[in-house]
Structure 1
Amino acid sequence: MKFASEFRDPAAAKVLLAAIARKADEIGATRAKPVHIMEICGGHTHSIFRYGLDKLIHDGVEFIHGPGCPVCVLPMARVDECVEIAETPGVIFTTFGDAMRVPGHRKSLIQAKSAGADIRMVYSPLDALELARRNPGREVVFFGLGFETTTPSTALSIQAAARERLTNFSVFCNHITVPEPIKALLDDPDMRLDGFIGPGHVSMVIGIHPYDFIAADYGKPIVVAGFEPTDLLQSVLMVLTQIAEGRAAVENQYGRVVPEHGNPVSLAAIADVYERRPSFEWRGLGEIDASGLRIRPKYAAFDAEEKFGIGYATGRRNVPELEGCACGSVMIGKLKPTQCPQFGKGCVPEMPLGALMVSSEGACAAYWQYAGAREAAE
């Protein structure tokens, strides 16, 4: 447990919790409501509930769960298009496991697989690339989704396919970016946020400066955090300290992993392969300008949207959510998972109605697994 146990030390956690309580009391002397801190990353949401930080922390601090689960923010229309590609004769459709059970309007990928489509779970786009090499007579499509964390590996796979001149490999690109939805949340007049816990894995790729606008333009503090209990507690304390001192800055608690300016190799691959879409649809947030990536024309031979004539070029968007599903409101922090009328009733992990109950980073899955919500529902 070396290099992990140090960040799970109960004594260190108690010291941080006491410091948070003092700082929260200091802030609370000037305001009636708790400090609302949004953790953007779904991995942080699960850590908070896995270690019970929501119960241990001072009641003057409230965690708000943000749109940081890449599978969860994917709109149903894109899932429908995945199924359409997968059901095309001769296609091997590959995807990360989290995406298999996300409901579309007609069916999920796992339902399409059970009906005969050749859909395979992979751990990396490089696995999909290897399938294309081994199956030259079939089109292998990789479902490229995720934030900046997974974007470089897809880009590198496309570059490799171009070098090898593969003609049977393509990517259905649904990669998205973190800063733009944060701006959309901050522009929402109904959203009351006091600060942010910034995503650690994303920031490992892009660095900390893409978040400068949060402090400079909106006056909100953001602290990029690691995923262990003391990482998150220290980050909360850093956010509270900024608020108490009346300042707003971008700070990096996760300095052991996150470089200030990101990973130059990853950033170069992203810049080479992708360009910004004019807009992209997010579950719960609607269309957000420049928040999605698409494959550049020079790599069009590896763009599944071009090969299969689907996606934004066809104008098919905005498929409505299933009736009674509150994934969109939960995704942007306006509702807690337990406030969704379907939570634990029509929507459970075995038969999910919404994506947030499916993904390993979904807020509803975190509540169900760690927060005692399962027992309450039963």
Structure 2
Amino acid sequence: MDKLEFIKEQLKNYDGEDLRFMEVCGTHTAAISENGIPNLLSPKIHLISGPGCPVCVTVTAVIDKLTELSLTENTTVLTFGDLIRVKGSKMSLADARANGGKVEMLYSPMDAIKMAQSNPDRNYVFAAIGFETTTPVYAMVLENAIKAGVHNLKLLTSLKTMPEVIRWVCKNTDNIDGFIAPGHVSVITGSDLFKELSEETGLPFAVAGFEGAGLLTAIYALVKMKGKAGIKNFYRSAVSEKGNEEARKAVNRFFEPCDASWRGMGTIEGSGMRLKKEYSEYDAGSYGLDEDHMPPGCSCSRVLTGEISPDECPLFGKKCTPEDAHGACMVSTEGSCYNYFISGRRKR
């Protein structure tokens, strides 16, 4: 029996106390679903999707500001895919576009600069949403815009960082037994960041990539580490202990830590990044976007923190489906509700 088959057998036949492991990465959420990993585990091993999908944790005030800007004369909002369909308190960017708003989807961040250069008399607002993974991308956009003398491109930022939200989850719930540490984020931060978190929380962390074998290996490690702090790195091909220092330098040039509002969790101190004051001319009005409105009956707040599984939300699969999503967790392909729905998983 090879190592992977041994791990599969151990995970399938596990018969100890119930264990709950949280992943805090939207790509992990999707990969777990795509690889059918829940079906390979003992009923006593539970995987929980935490606040790792950037679209899912964006508060409605940010969406409202973007829709307002898209409907402003001579202004175009630029964004990546899933955000277009997320509802604000009144409408989504897709709704705004249907009502005459100017919204364009980007495939490459550098296209934002090209568009601004090609239309110097038009204003462009780039929806800068994400975690440590994408913040260096926005730093690169700013650096190149400044070098090119582009002044008609601004950022509307909603940038989050992982450490403080993980601390928040640990302080507000006592039923997490370990974390699958986010792979993409770890490339930038390094695995040492989670070593510190593990020591603080007393919980094990396992850094994983996005292949089924790597995720199963990480889950098995967490089972073996139950009750013990520590960090295991199973994504060494991309993640070092210290991470990408050059990327962090670029981020620190343009951005600084700040308090940030999270969908369903409120404001978490020191959990975000914002443009430094010396670059305020490139900000499209990101400050004070804290309000958050849940659609009636939506339980995204409880799903995001692992309090309930997606199918325990009263709207799941009824009023809320991928075709007609009410909550952000059902909109994004990295959202827990979306992946729960398409994989056919249900709580029994």
Same topology, TM > 0.5: yes
2:144 is aligned with 1:160: yes
Report how far residue 13 of structure 1 moved: 4.2
Partner of 2:319: 346
Alignment partner for residue 170 of structure 1, among 125, 150, 154? 154
Partner of 2:328: 355
* Partner SS state of residue 111, structure 1: helix
Partner of 2:337: 364
Does the aligned pair in 2 maintain the 1:98–1:359 contact within 8 Å?
yes
Q: Partners of 1:346 and 1:77 in 2: how far apart? A: 23
Which amino acid is the alignment partner of residue 109 of structure 1? L
2:22 is aligned with 1:41: no
Q: Partners of 2:69 and 2:270 in 1: how far apart? A: 25
Q: Partners of 2:228 and 2:343 in 1: how far apart? A: 34
Partner of 1:266: 247
Which amino acid is the alignment partner of residue 217 of structure 1? E
Per-residue CA distance 1:43-90 (angstroms, 9 max, x = gap):
112222222211111222111111100000011111111111111111
2:215 is aligned with 1:232: yes
Partner of 1:4: none
Does the aligned pair in 2 maintain the 1:46–1:361 contact within 8 Å?
yes
Partner of 1:209: 192
* Partner SS state of residue 218, structure 2: helix
Partner of 1:17: 8
Partner of 2:275: 295
Per-residue CA distance 1:252-283 (angstroms, 9 max, x = gap):
11111112111122111111010011x11101
* Partner SS state of residue 248, structure 2: helix
Which amino acid is the alignment partner of residue 10 of structure 2? A
Alignment partner for residue 144 of structure 1, among 98, 108, 128? 128
Which 4+ residue blocks in structure 1 deviate beyond 4 angstroms?
Answer: 10-13
Q: Partners of 1:187 and 1:223 in 2: how far apart? A: 20
Does the aligned pair in 2 maintain the 1:83–1:109 contact within 8 Å?
yes
Per-residue CA distance 1:158-200 (angstroms, 9 max, x = gap):
0111122211011111111111100000111x44111000000
Per-residue CA distance 1:294-318 (angstroms, 9 max, x = gap):
101121121111xxxx631xxx532
Which amino acid is the alignment partner of residue 153 of structure 1? V
Does the aligned pair in 2 maintain the 1:49–1:371 contact within 8 Å?
no
Does the aligned pair in 2 maintain the 1:37–1:62 contact within 8 Å?
yes
* Partner SS state of residue 291, structure 1: strand
Q: Partners of 1:290 and 1:86 in 2: how far apart? A: 29
Which amino acid is the alignment partner of residue 21 of structure 2? I
Partner of 2:307: 334
Q: Partners of 1:15 and 1:119 in 2: how far apart? A: 50
Q: Partners of 1:154 and 1:287 in 2: how far apart? A: 23
Which amino acid is the alignment partner of residue 303 of structure 1? D
2:82 is aligned with 1:109: no
Alignment partner for residue 319 of structure 1, among 282, 285, 292? 292
Q: Partners of 2:98 and 2:276 in 1: how far apart? A: 34
Report how far residue 239 of structure 1 moved: 1.1
Alignment partner for residue 58 of structure 1, among 42, 49, 68? 42
* Partner SS state of residue 77, structure 2: strand
Partner of 1:275: 256
2:231 is aligned with 1:250: yes
Where in structure 2 are the equivalents of 1:85-96 lying within 5 Å? 85-96=69-80
Report how far residue 150 of structure 1 moved: 0.8
Which amino acid is the alignment partner of residue 128 of structure 1? A
* Partner SS state of residue 270, structure 1: helix
Unpaired runs of 5+ in structure 2? none
Report how far residue 247 of structure 1 moved: 2.7
Aligned length in residues? 347
Q: Partners of 1:11 and 1:273 in 2: how far apart? A: 48
Partner of 1:5: none
Does the aligned pair in 1 maintain the 2:88–2:293 contact within 8 Å?
no
* Partner SS state of residue 67, structure 2: helix
Q: Partners of 2:190 and 2:184 in 1: how far apart? A: 10
The alignment yields a C-alpha RMSD, in angstroms, of 1.7
* Partner SS state of residue 124, structure 1: coil
Which TM-score applies when normalising by structure 1? 0.88
Q: Partners of 2:174 and 2:200 in 1: how far apart? A: 16
Does the aligned pair in 2 maintain the 1:103–1:354 contact within 8 Å?
yes
Which amino acid is the alignment partner of residue 11 of structure 2? I
Report how far residue 11 of structure 1 moved: 6.8
Which TM-score applies when normalising by structure 2? 0.95
